[in-house]
Amino acid sequence: MKKIVLPVLMLGIILLSAGCAKKSQFTLYTWDGMFPQDILSGFEKDTGIKINYVNFDTDETMLMKLQAAKGGSYDLVIADDYIVQKSIGLGLAQKLDKPKLVNYKNINPVYQKQFFDPTDEYTIPYGAGIQTIVYNPKTVKINIRRYSDLWNQSLANSIGLIGNPRVINGMALKVLGCSYNTNNLGEIQKAGDLMKIMAPNVHLIRDDNLQDELISGEISVAVMYTSQATNTMVQAPDMKMVFPEEGIGFGIMASFIPSRAPNAEAAYKFLDYILDAERGARCFESLGYYCTWLASEPYIKPEMKNLLTLPQGLNAGNMEMIQNISPEAEELHNKIWTEFKTACGQ
């Protein structure tokens, strides 16, 4: 009997160990640099759960891979609002079991009940941002206040733009008094024609770390993401940050647990870990986007608080969230973007 029981017992131990090993890891799927290393290391140390941090380059890449995995493979995804809406619509996200999130109350309600999750059933907002112009007043001869100022001839070959078609084409739409989310092809084409007129002023188009070129002096003006603007103002506080008067593009990143997440329980533990007020402040100081935990705001460093909280005076009246539009409108935006980059020599 012993010769039979012992192998069976050992096999049971091996299988149990394998199961524990599987449960001691979870896969986080988002962009690079979304969390400070001390938060990731602290979570692993405090919980014994190892983080498998997997990066994607674009929201569309994330959606393609999540679809291919049929909502599996990944335990927690953080992406942009519009793609999160698509993920939910495709059945790739599961509803949150909120009692598992003790710190859920720390979320700032300003960033909830948005178009991508109007009932807050699926997502936790993680960082928000607006379309921002930052410029060097020592090298720019005009006082920039509006998107339309970027067409001024004095800015020839001096502007840097992020590589986001809807955001950049949207500048011209706002100059024309149109919505970022118009499906009117005539309006979108007029904006495209206006963009080509601005092309001689564009020195480069770069989506990542655009602040480096502004700080170094390679460019004098930049249309940036909030994280890049924050980075710029921390390193070069003499720069000027502008919230364009025509209206501002506003976006929220959000986390969700995929519908067939292999280890959803670990994802809940991680979400609750970062929802802690003090840890959240540390996350947003590193991330550089607006803090979406109301409870974390008192813990943000004083020198960064104005950069990480929604500026006073900005409200729904002068901000518009960039949302999903018709396939025809999206196709025209992409065509205009290709033509614009060619006109800019990019």
Q: Whole-model pTM?
A: 0.86
Most confident of 1-10, 222-231, 259-268: 259-268
Q: Which of 240, 207, 229 is nearest to 304 (CA)?
A: 229
Looking at residue 19, what is its pLDDT? 46
Q: What is the pLDDT of residues 278-301, one digit of tens each?
A: 999 999 999 999 999 999 999 999
Query: Is the CB of residue 54 less than 8 Å from the CB of residue 29?
Result: yes
* Res. 144 pLDDT band, cuts 50 70 90: very high
Same domain membership, residue 229 and residue 140: yes
Please report which residue ranges of the chain form alpha helices under DSSP H: 2-23, 37-47, 59-68, 81-89, 165-175, 185-198, 211-216, 226-235, 264-274, 277-287, 302-308, 327-343
Q: What is the pLDDT of residues 150-179, one digit of tens each?
A: 999 999 999 999 988 889 999 999 999 999
Same domain membership, residue 156 and residue 192: yes
Question: If DSSP codes are grouped into helix, strand and coil, which group holds residue 331?
Answer: helix
pLDDT at 2 over 50: no
- Compute the distance between CA of residue 290 and CA of residue 269 in angstroms, rounded to an integer: 23
* Residue 132 neighbours by CB under 8 Å, 6+ apart: 223, 224, 225, 226, 229, 241, 242, 243
Range of the domain at 163: 130-250+310-343
The count of other CB atoms within 10 Å of the CB of residue 291 is: 27
Residue 317 domain-assigned? yes
- Looking at the 3D structure of the chain, how many domains does it have? 2
CA-derived radius of gyration, the chain:
23
Same domain membership, residue 322 and residue 214: yes
Question: If DSSP codes are grouped into helix, strand and coil, which group holds residue 77?
Answer: strand
Same domain membership, residue 295 and residue 154: no
Residue 10 domain-assigned? no
Sign of the torsion formed by the C-alpha atoms of 79, 82, 88 and 92: negative
* Residue whose token pair is 């603007």: 229
- Compute the distance between CA of residue 170 and CA of residue 191 in angstroms, rounded to an integer: 8
Residue 6 domain-assigned? no
Same domain membership, residue 90 and residue 212: no
pLDDT at 81 over 80: yes
Same domain membership, residue 329 and residue 181: yes
Looking at residue 57, what is its pLDDT? 87
Residue 16 domain-assigned? no
Looking at residue 297, what is its pLDDT? 96
Of 1-10, 134-143, 214-223, the range with the lowest mean pLDDT is: 1-10
Residue 7 domain-assigned? no
* Res. 247 pLDDT band, cuts 50 70 90: confident
* Res. 311 pLDDT band, cuts 50 70 90: confident
Looking at residue 16, what is its pLDDT? 47
Looking at residue 131, what is its pLDDT? 87
Q: Which of 297, 254, 255 is nearest to 278 (CA)?
A: 297
Same domain membership, residue 218 and residue 147: yes
Looking at residue 207, what is its pLDDT? 86
Same domain membership, residue 221 and residue 85: no
* Res. 64 pLDDT band, cuts 50 70 90: very high
CATH number at 246 reads 3.40.190.10
Q: Stretch 95-116: mean pLDDT, rounded?
A: 96
* Res. 252 pLDDT band, cuts 50 70 90: very high
Q: What is the mean pLDDT of the chain?
A: 91
Q: Percentage of the chain surpassing pLDDT 70?
A: 92
pLDDT at 317 over 90: no
Q: Stretch 177-191: mean pLDDT, rounded?
A: 96
Residue 276 domain-assigned? yes
Q: Which of 123, 132, 140, 212 is nearest to 167 (CA)?
A: 132
Residue 235 domain-assigned? yes
Q: Stretch 33-60: mean pLDDT, rounded?
A: 95
Same domain membership, residue 164 and residue 49: no
pLDDT at 14 over 50: no
* Residue whose token pair is 């024309």: 176
pLDDT at 316 over 90: no
* Res. 73 pLDDT band, cuts 50 70 90: very high
* Res. 23 pLDDT band, cuts 50 70 90: low
pLDDT at 315 over 50: yes
Looking at residue 11, what is its pLDDT? 47
Question: If DSSP codes are grouped into helix, strand and coil, which group holds residue 126?
Answer: strand
pLDDT at 344 over 90: yes
pLDDT at 216 over 60: yes
Q: Tokens in use for 42?
A: 């602290």
Q: Stretch 200-217: mean pLDDT, rounded?
A: 94
